[in-house]
Amino acid sequence: MKGRLIYVELKSGYAGNGPAWIDIAGASKSGNTVYSNGKAFRSLKGSGVNGNYYDIDTLEEYWISGIKKNNQDRHWTGGGKILISHDAIDAYLAETGARQLPQNIFPTTLAPAEQSARHQEIEHVKLYEDAETGELPRSRAEMIKAKTRPDG
């Protein structure tokens, strides 16, 4: 997904109208982590409630996909403005064939789409056992369902 134009929308706590942006994604060497707007995302591999990725720092669920050429990236029941990185505008216009940005998309400066020291630390932290059961979660996705964090 590195260098790919993506649509990102926060799903946790929102009903189709969470903060959303379009950016050129960064990715880890393995491709397992996607970086955008200063955040690091891992796939939920179909186990999410509303999203398909989660923020490794906050455990919030996000919807990440390629952009739609018809500007219908938001869920049909949702709405709201969509931010776009200044660095992604030319790629967006080329991919959609549009001459200008749609009225609901607003240029902005987003945080870098790259791994930070904090992301590296989180990605290499062990999953801690449940204090009550003594069991380890099978994945970070399980931790999201349990609403716990790997670092306590």
User: Could you tell me whether strands 33-36 and 26-27 are parallel, antiparallel, or unpaired per DSSP bridges?
Assistant: antiparallel
**What pLDDT is attached to residue 75?**
77
Does residue 93 sit within a domain? yes
pLDDT in the model for residue 136? 53
Both tokens of residue 16?
């189709």
Instruction: Print the domain residue range for 102.
Output: 5-114
Question: How confident is the model over 26-59, as pLDDT tens digits?
Answer: 988 877 889 999 999 998 877 666 788 999 889 8
> What is the edge-to-edge ordering of all strands in the sheet holding 53-55?
26-27, 33-36, 39-43, 53-55, 61-66, 5-10, 20-24, 82-85, 105-108
Number of H helices, E strands in the chain: 3, 9
Q: Do the domain assignments include residue 99? A: yes
Residue 41: enclosing H or E segment and its boundaries?
strand 39-43
Q: Are 84 and 30 in contact (CB under 8 A)?
A: no
The average confidence (pLDDT) of the chain is 82
Count up the domains in the chain and report the number. Answer: 1
Q: What are 62-99's pLDDT values in tens digits?
A: 999 999 999 898 877 778 899 999 999 999 999 999 99
In a domain, 12, yes or no: yes
- Has residue 138 been placed in a domain? no
Residue 9 has pLDDT above 80, yes or no: yes
